[in-house]
């Protein structure tokens, strides 16, 4: 076999392995998503309650689709309730996502559902984010999130 063909077949193999890893993360994320549904809704658009919503839409959300370190912080530490815009509260979910596979799964899932198309988050990355935020004891604030988005 010539080298080009071998390289081509090898790259197909790598692509298949990556697809497989993504599929596994998406499956783990889908299983964990009911934890978020009570507020963000089954369709991720935010559960309506009267003329308000329990929580913002994850579809097209800058936080969901943006820098994964910020999304990880929001899930692990929650968001301080500073306004009455939403009926719910984004509580810290560190305890529910104690495994790196689960954290990577939920992040990958919401970044690739509801029309979102953002990068996969691997368990290795999830672990690094957990370490990055280990010292943060307070929930995130909108001001801090905006600062980090710059």
> Residue 142: how many CB atoms within 10 A of its CB?
12
112 binds ligand HEC (CB under 6 A): no
The contact mask relative to ligand HEC for 69-108 (x = CB under 6 A, - = no) is --x--xx---x-x-x--x-xxxx-x------------x--
DSSP 45: S
Q: Scan residues 24-53 and list those touching ligand HEC (CB under 6 A).
A: 35-36, 38-40
The span of 6-14, 61-69, 114-122, 131-139 binding ligand HEC (CB under 6 A) equals 61-69
126 binds ligand HEC (CB under 6 A): no
Report the b/e string of 29-66 with b at 16+ CB within 10 A: beebbeebeebbbeebbbbeeeeebbbbebbebebbbe
Tell whether the torsion through CA atoms of 42, 34, 57 and 19 is positive or negative. negative
Q: Provide the binding-site residues for ligand HEC, judged by CB under 6 A.
A: 35-36, 38-40, 54-56, 58, 61-64, 71, 74-75, 79, 81, 83, 86, 88-91, 93, 106, 110
């Amino acid at each position: 076999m010539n080298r080009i063909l071998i390289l081509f077949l090898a790259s197909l193999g790598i692509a298949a392995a990556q697809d497989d890893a993504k599929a596994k993360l998406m499956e783990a994320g889908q299983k964990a998503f009911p934890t978020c549904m009570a507020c963000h809704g089954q369709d991720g658009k935010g559960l309506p309650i009267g003329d308000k919503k329990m929580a913002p839409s994850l579809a097209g959300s800058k936080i969901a689709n943006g820098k994964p370190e910020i999304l990880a912080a929001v899930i692990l530490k929650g968001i301080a309730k500073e306004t009455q815009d939403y009926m719910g509260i984004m509580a810290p979910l560190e305890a529910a996502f104690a495994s790196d596979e689960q954290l990577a799964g939920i992040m990958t899932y919401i970044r690739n559902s509801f029309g979102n198309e953002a990068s996969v988050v691997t368990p290795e990355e999830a672990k690094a984010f957990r370490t990055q935020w280990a010292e943060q004891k307070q929930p995130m604030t909108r001001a801090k999130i905006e600062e980090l988005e710059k």
